[in-house]
Amino acid sequence: MSNTIESNVILNRLPKHLKQFIKPQNYDDYSAIDQAVWRYVMRKNVDFLAKVAHKSYLDGLKQTGISIDSIPNMYGMNRILKDIGWAAVAVDGFIPPNAFMEFQAYNVLVIASDIRQLEHIEYTPAPDIIHEGAGHAPIIANPEYAEYLRRFGEVGSKAISSAKDYELYEAVRHLSIIKEAPNSKENDIVSAEEKVEYLQQNMGKPSEMALIRNLHWWTVEYGLIGTIENPKIYGAGLLSSIGESAWCMTDEVEKLPYNIEATYKDFDITKPQPQLFVTPDFAHLSLILEEFANTMALRKGDLSGVNKLIHSNALGTIELSTGLQISAVFSHVIENEGKPIYIQTTGETALAYREKELVGHGVETHTEGFGSPIGKLKGINLAIEDMSPRDLSAYNIYEEKVVTLEFEGGIIVSGEIITGKRNLQGKIILISFKNCTVTHHDTVLFKPEWGIYDMAVGKAIVSAFSGPADLNSFDLITHVPSTQTIHIKKSSELLKLEALYKQVRDYREGKNKTISRTKVLEELIENHPSDWLLPIELYELAFIGNETKLCESIINHLETIKQNRPEVGRLIDDGLGIVKKGTVVK
């Protein structure tokens, strides 16, 4: 298969900065062992989930074209997903939380295209195609849930992170990679786990992103739906884990009603969850999301919003009451009586209105930062933005006039007005000065020799959020992950084992009926005595064909494996049980 990425109408809408995370699926890289792992998990899950998953899951498997027997091909998935208004893309493991959320806002599922190793068949901390494809994709066929997911992405992508959030993201990504990678040293894994645990315990006051990530975890990943007494599974983390999907249904896991308090319940990605939250229905999820969104700087703005952006030390935006948007890394705010009276950015800054950059006010103009007073003029009840042309003239706010504007809180702007910009409602949103001096008491904030002073107009900050107002204002194609998913060179022994799996798969699919399954079993016993999954696949074929003698030989071999590897005993028994039931949903 080609290593190119096939696009479609939905993917064409994605902005360039999200496309940097997309990689080809490279379907031919999946080995026959990978296919067998997918098939085992799906057969076992669907058999169990038919009883405990929300009804949308099984319906969604059919609607989204997810096969029980084969790892989904993303090109095929996209052709089917488009009918419900969604698409899917492949990525390399964890991507930054804001980007992950933003993909959702565009109705795009992010799918980590690697698949867990056989050794981690029950659970892996690394996102993989079982988790994403078999967990997330089927549920979005439910329209109410799909809208929740899209809206969550829309709100979540605006959540402000802290500098520590990104450090934790990198640490979790690194841990997930080395835990899933073959031949990782135990000391390295322990060290990575300790770093994640240390960061989790020393995050300080949780950021908006940390809080909304909790909501994401307890709903999208580990959510239950229905009643406390009889919950059903809809969270992708549970749907894709053959261990936790059963564990979560026991009384060992506390079931709590889902409400806004889940925002403050942290989680540990490396361990099974001791409690889970139950929503009565999918519509309730959206109600809680809106309740949380009302606490965000996105909707509150003001001093706390600016301070969140300063603390994030990352690109963000404030929006003023006039609609003017200032995007940059915010470095300083002067406050008076709990209100912001002057904001300062550092480095490249862009000004926009309604998410569109103002002509002449991009990063090429504001290369060294941007500062502006916020609020009303001292002793005047009427804010500049609310003044009529006659009012502006009366206060000397007029082209070519030299004026001194004193704001509440002590900010003074003095200079000659060059021109102004208005919004669609006719309100002044920006005034440009020459020969301008800006002071706050004894502190000089802007000097005439620095050039033109552009003063933002706004009596209040109404919104503050992560990222730029206009996506085209900044170069956002900058993501370089600190760690890449590890793919080691396969040993000759593994390649031979993969070849045996391929023979059995070809036989089952009718591609080659000349294969001797008895000889495959003999070679397994002699050269790969600890492998347990291929004997189960052989047993399935023998069981269907009523080959009693071969069945007995395989069962004897599996009993030997169970004695030597008791940790896989339950996996073997479950696999045999599914074969004997013969009731897997196709």
Question: In 10 A of CB 426, how many CB atoms?
Answer: 9
Question: For residues 408 and 378, is the Cβ–Cβ distance under 8 A?
Answer: yes
- Nearest-angstrom CA–CA distance, 90 and 138: 17
Average pLDDT of the residues in 288-293: 97
Highest mean pLDDT among 145-159, 204-218, 235-249: 145-159
Rg of the chain's alpha carbons, rounded to an integer? 29
Strand, coil or helix: 501: helix
| Per-residue confidence (pLDDT) for residue 171, from 0 to 100 | 77
66 vs 344, higher pLDDT: 344
Look at residue 480 and tell me whether its pLDDT is greater than 70. Answer: no
Taking 60 as the threshold, does the pLDDT of residue 355 lie above it?
A: yes
Give the pLDDT band (50/70/90) at residue 477.
confident
Pairing verdict, β 275-279 and 254-257: parallel
Confidence of residue 584 (pLDDT cuts 50, 70, 90): very low
Question: Helix H segments across 421-512?
Answer: 492-508
Contact 112, 125 (CB under 8 A): no
Tell me the mean pLDDT in the region 91-110: 87
Measure the CA dihedral 518/523/529/532, to 10°.
Answer: -50
Task: Kindly indicate the confidence band of residue 180, based on its pLDDT and cuts at 50, 70 and 90.
Answer: low
Q: CA neighbours within 13 Å on the CB side: how many for 228? A: 6
Q: Which of 194-203, 256-265, 293-302, 331-340 has the lowest mean pLDDT?
A: 194-203
Query: Is the pLDDT score of 4 beyond 60?
Result: no
Element (H, E) at 50: helix 32-52
The confidence score (pLDDT) of residue 376 equals: 95
Mean pLDDT of 207-226: 94
When pLDDT is cut at 50, 70 and 90, the band that residue 162 belongs to is confident
| Span 176-199, average pLDDT | 75
Structure-block tokens of residue 83: 């009918």
Which DSSP symbol is given to 218?
I
Q: What is the mean pLDDT of residues 426-436?
A: 95
Residue type, 499: A
> How many CB atoms lie under 10 A from the CB of residue 487?
10
Q: Going along 460-530, which residue ranges are E strands?
A: 461-466
CA distance 177 to 572: 27
Whether the predicted pLDDT of 30 surpasses 60: yes
Coil, helix or strand at residue 202? coil
- The secondary element (H helix, E strand) that includes residue 254 is strand 254-257
Instruction: Kindly state the tokens that stand for 573.
Output: 């028994």
Residue 159 pLDDT grade (very low, low, confident, very high; cuts 50, 70, 90): very high
Higher pLDDT pick, 6 / 77: 77
pLDDT of residue 60: 86
318-342 confidence digits (pLDDT tens): 999 999 999 999 999 999 999 999 9
- Amino acid (1-letter code) at residue 375: G
Residue 155 tokens, joined: 């709100």
**Domains of the chain: which residue ranges?**
9-290, 328-464, 492-581
Closest CA to 49 of 234, 280, 219: 234
Give the residue, 154 or 114, on which the prediction is more confident. 154
The pLDDT score that the predictor gives to residue 420 is 92
Ordered DSSP codes for 94-119: ---HHHHHHHHHTTEEEEE-----GG
Q: What is the arithmetic mean of pLDDT over 151-178?
A: 82
3-class secondary structure, 17: helix
Q: Poorest-confidence range of 87-101, 214-228, 242-256?
A: 87-101
Longest dimension (CA), the chain: 103
CATH placement of domain 9-290: 1.10.800.10
**Which residues fall within 8 angstroms of residue 393, CB to CB, at 6 or more apart?**
none
Please report, to the nearest 10 degrees, the dihedral formed by the alpha carbons of residues 48, 49, 50, 52 taken in order: 100
Please choose, from the candidates 394, 385, 395, 454, the residue with its C-alpha nearest in 3D space to the C-alpha of residue 422.
Answer: 385
Indicate whether 485 pLDDT > 80: no
Residue 35 is classified by DSSP as H
CA proximity to 313, closest of 468, 477, 164: 164
Say what percent of the chain tops pLDDT 90: 61
> Identity (one letter) of the amino acid at 542?
A
Task: Report, as an integer, the average pLDDT of 477-494.
Answer: 67
Question: Given this model, what pLDDT does residue 486 score?
Answer: 52
How far is CA 119 from each of CA 171, 245, 568, rounded to the nearest angstrom? Answer: 23, 18, 9
Binned at pLDDT 50, 70 and 90, residue 205 comes out as confident
For the chain, report the end-to-end CA distance as a whole number of angstroms.
Answer: 26
Dist. CA 493–CA 576, nearest whole Å: 26
The DSSP annotation for 367-422 comes to -S--EEE-SPBTT-SS-GGG--HHHHHHTT-STT-EEEEEBTTSEEEEEEEEEEEE
Q: Has residue 484 got a pLDDT over 60? A: no
Tell me the C-alpha distance between 149 and 286, whole Å.
Answer: 9
Cβ neighbours of residue 489 closer than 8 Å, sequence gap 6 or more: none
Q: Is the model's pLDDT at 501 over the cut of 50?
A: yes
Of residues 397 and 168, more confidently modeled: 397
Q: For the chain, what is the mean pLDDT?
A: 89
268 confidence band (pLDDT: 50, 70, 90): confident
Would you state the pLDDT for residue 1?
Answer: 37
